[in-house]
Amino acid sequence: MFVVTLLSNPDTSRLEPSLVDSLRNAWGGGDAIWLCPDVAAEFAVATQPDNQWQVWDELQKMQIDLVVQPADGRRKKMLLADMDSTMIQQECIDELADEAGVGDRVKDITARAMNGELDFEGALTERVGLLAGLDEAVIAKVLETRITLMPGGPVLLATMRAKAAYAALVSGGFTAFTGAVAAQLGFDENRANTLLTADGKLTGEVQHPILGRAAKIEALEQITARLGIAEADVIAVGDGANDLGMLGRAGTGVALHAKPSVAAECDVRINFGDLTALLYLQGYAQDEFAAV
């Protein structure tokens, strides 16, 4: 059995019952279950539809996300999440670069790296080098004035933690940011790169080894082994090329508002919903969400 989930953005669009019923009838699905009125609904089908991606393409024009996944094992025991442009709405290195006066140059490199056009480690080294001499205190300023959480993140963490799931934040960004974001959202642990400083200023170097795509896979392997759970028990979420390894290995890998080349390699794509989409994908109804 498979479950078909339809999702809209909770703030800007509406999922019409007539649309859900039309697709359910076309695919011979079971009764529609509304996880949240106007936002999320699901129904079961016996087999994976042959025209899934043609329908997906049409629904994207209506700002509706469509996911088809196996019914068994949807509820996960662990959340593995990227940070930049996933749990927060910004890329931290781009915000630091703005403060350093090299924003445009760094943002271009970031975009190309996240789209898989550049080697991640080389791109990170180049970008950090452009921050040399920036006052270390700017990090706290950026955290306070420039960093905002991705909508739905607090509810996602609170609900999964309430259901006894483990939560790990694994970023190609920096510990100075992941530590603060992890603490704010309630992650159990966080891993990221460390910016090196001297005399209160950034040196323009990052501590090695650099945490990139391979390190995110290692985190998946190490944490699941430590917890005694299977990789199939993990729901992972990210948006960049360096996330593809962990997204492919996790039981459910979610490309969230991802770069086109990244989304093209993932079966679970959320382009319009917020982070609560990860709860709906697991079959949680809104009235099961934890309070925040």
Strand stretches in the chain, DSSP E: 2-8, 33-36, 40-45, 64-70, 78-81, 166-174, 189-193, 195-198, 201-206, 234-238, 252-256, 268-270
Is 21 known to be catalytic? no
Phi/psi of residue 144, each to 5°?
-80, -35
Task: Give the integer Cα–Cα distance in Å for 39 and 18.
Answer: 13
82 is catalytic: yes
Residue tagged active-site, from 84, 233, 243, 274: 84
Place of tokens 């770069």: 259
Catalytic residue of the set 38, 57, 82, 274: 82
Nearest to 165 by CA among 6, 284, 69: 284
Cβ neighbours of residue 170 under 8 Å, at least 6 residues apart?
A: 80, 81, 82, 83, 190, 191, 192, 211, 215, 216, 219, 246
Do 73 and 80 touch, CB atoms closer than 8 A?
A: no
Neighbours of 214 (CB within 10 A): 15
* Catalytic (active-site) positions: 82, 84
